[in-house]
Amino acid sequence: MDDKTEKNMNLLPAAKLFKEPAEWPLIPPWWLVPSTDAAALLNVKPATLSSWRIRGYGPNSYPPMYLKPTQGRPLYYQYGELRSWAASALGMAYSFEDQCTDFFTEVFPVLNQGSGSLEGRIRTFERQYLDDRERVLRGAGGNSIVAAHIHTLDAFFERQPKRIGCAPLRL
C-alpha cells in the first residue's frame, strides 16, 4: 500500500470498518442499542466509537434527555442510524425508510401493504409485537409475528432503555 492510500485510510477511519463485518441482526431500525453493541456491529472498539463521537465523526448517539436516567448513563445509538452511517461510510445509501420496509417485509409483511404513515406502522408493529410476545412467553404462538422472530427480538427488547414519557422516535 502506498503512503497516499494509507494516509487517506487514516483520514477516513470507516474505510477499515468492514474487514470482517458483523452480521447485522434482524431488529427494528428504531430500536436503540448500547454503545458496546454498536461498536461490535461496526467492528470497532468502544473507545474508537467514543473517540469518533468526541471528534464529531461516526453515527449520532441518541439524545440521553429522552431516556430515564440509569446507572452509569450508557450511550445508545438508534439501530437504523448505525446502519445508515455504516452504509454511507462505504459510499452506499440505506435510508431509515428502506430499513423499515426490509424489516417489515421479513417480520410483519402486512405493514408494507398499507398506506399509513411510517410512524403509524411502527406503532402498529410495537403493539402487535407486545401482544404476540406475551402469547409466546405463555407458550402459545404469535398471531401475526412468528415465534422465532419473537425470540430473536426478545434479546434486544429486554435491553431497550426506558423512554421518558412519550419520547419521540427520531425518524
Residue 156, classed as helix, strand or coil, is: helix
Domain count, the chain: 1
Rg (CA), the chain: 18
Query: Which stretch of DSSP H or E encloses residue 124?
Result: helix 118-137
Degrees (nearest 5) of the Cα angle 38, 50, 87? 45
- Contact partners, residue 50, CB within 8 Å, separation at least 6: 35
Confidence at residue 2, expressed as pLDDT on a 0 to 100 scale: 47
Kindly state whether residue 66 falls inside one of the protein's structural domains. yes
- Classify residue 96: in a domain, yes or no: yes
pLDDT tens, 96-153? 999 999 999 999 998 888 678 999 999 999 999 999 999 998 988 778 898 899 999 9
**Residues whose CB is less than 8 angstroms from the CB of residue 136 and which lie 6 or more positions away in sequence, other chains included:** 142, 147, 150, 151
pLDDT at residue 115 in the model: 72
pLDDT at position 142: 76
Domain-located, residue 164: no
Q: Residue 104: name the closest of 92, 93, 116 by CA.
A: 116
- The whole-model pTM stands at 0.80
In a domain, 7, yes or no: no
Instruction: Specify if 3 maps to a domain.
Output: no
Residue 150: inside a domain: yes
pLDDT at residue 67 is higher than 60: yes
Are 96 and 84 spatial neighbours (Cβ–Cβ below 8 Å)? yes
Cα–Cα dist 87/85, whole Å:
5
User: pLDDT class for 170, splitting at 50, 70, 90?
Assistant: low
Domain assignment of residue 51, given as a range: 31-157
- Would residue 81 count as lying in a domain? yes
In-domain check, residue 147: yes
